[in-house]
Every structure is written in structure tokens, then in C-alpha cells.
């Protein structure tokens, strides 16, 4: 009976560990420091908006690279990350954003033999 209750309460372990993107971690750390220093939610919101715009711009650059180069862009993750101005560990997030923002990028990613959700 206890095991059944435990199974109902605890969520299943889908991933061994969740590792957030560097861009997300840096953004959250910046927001925390800014709020702690200024105690002003308006400044923190402006910073959050700025960081979200930066993520969108980087994902648009990834999207453009996918549209121009196709699958070849995915074969060199270091080159793609350098082109975007991000770390290789940020590519899964940026590729996911590009996938959802551009039909052409989505077609390239869906037809790719590279597992872009785990690219590093």
C-alpha cells in the first residue's frame, strides 16, 4: 500500500538530470543580482525583457543559418555556436526556438539525421 502511494506522489524520473542552458543560467543570475542590488522589480523586468530579446535574436541567427546551409549547419556545432555568439551547450535551446519560430528551420531540423535536441 505504501509503495502505491509513493508511486502516485512522486513524479516519474524522465531525465537523469536537467541541465539548463548557459544563457538561461546567466540571465537568472543577472536578474537575481540586479534585484538584490536595486530592490526594484521594474529594473529586473527590463533586464528580463532584454535577455529574452537576446535569446530571440540568437535563435533567429540560428534559423537563418539553417535556412541557408541546411543540415550542414548542424554538422559543426562549434561553428554554429561561434556564428551565433553562444556556447555549444546553448544550441539545443536556440535550435528549439528556431524550430518553433520558422517553418523552414523546422523542416530542416525535422528532416535532419542529427539529434539536435542533444547537440553539443
In a domain, 5, yes or no: no
**What pTM does this model have?**
0.78
DSSP secondary structure letter of residue 113: S
Q: pLDDT of 28-48, one tens digit each?
A: 999 999 999 999 999 999 999
In a domain, 14, yes or no: no
Mean pLDDT across the chain: 85
In a domain, 4, yes or no: no
In a domain, 75, yes or no: yes
- Reported as a pLDDT band with limits 50, 70 and 90, residue 8 is very low
- The mean pLDDT value for 4-13 works out to 48
In a domain, 16, yes or no: no
In a domain, 13, yes or no: no
What's the total number of domains in the chain? Answer: 1
Instruction: Report the distance separating Cα 120 and Cα 117, nearest Å.
Output: 9
In a domain, 11, yes or no: no
Domain that holds residue 37: 22-118
Amino acid at each position: 500500500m505504501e509503495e502505491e502511494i509513493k508511486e502516485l506522489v512522486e513524479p516519474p524520473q524522465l531525465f537523469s538530470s536537467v541541465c539548463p542552458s548557459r544563457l538561461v543560467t546567466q540571465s537568472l543570475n543577472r536578474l537575481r543580482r540586479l534585484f538584490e542590488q536595486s530592490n526594484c522589480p521594474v529594473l529586473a523586468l527590463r533586464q528580463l525583457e532584454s535577455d529574452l530579446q537576446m535569446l530571440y535574436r540568437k535563435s533567429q541567427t540560428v534559423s537563418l543559418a539553417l535556412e541557408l546551409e541546411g543540415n550542414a549547419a548542424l554538422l559543426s556545432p562549434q561553428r554554429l555556436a561561434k556564428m551565433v555568439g553562444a556556447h555549444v551547450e546553448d544550441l539545443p535551446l536556440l535550435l528549439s526556438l528556431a524550430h518553433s519560430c520558422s517553418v523552414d528551420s523546422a523542416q530542416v531540423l525535422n528532416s535532419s539525421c542529427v539529434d539536435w535536441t542533444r547537440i553539443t
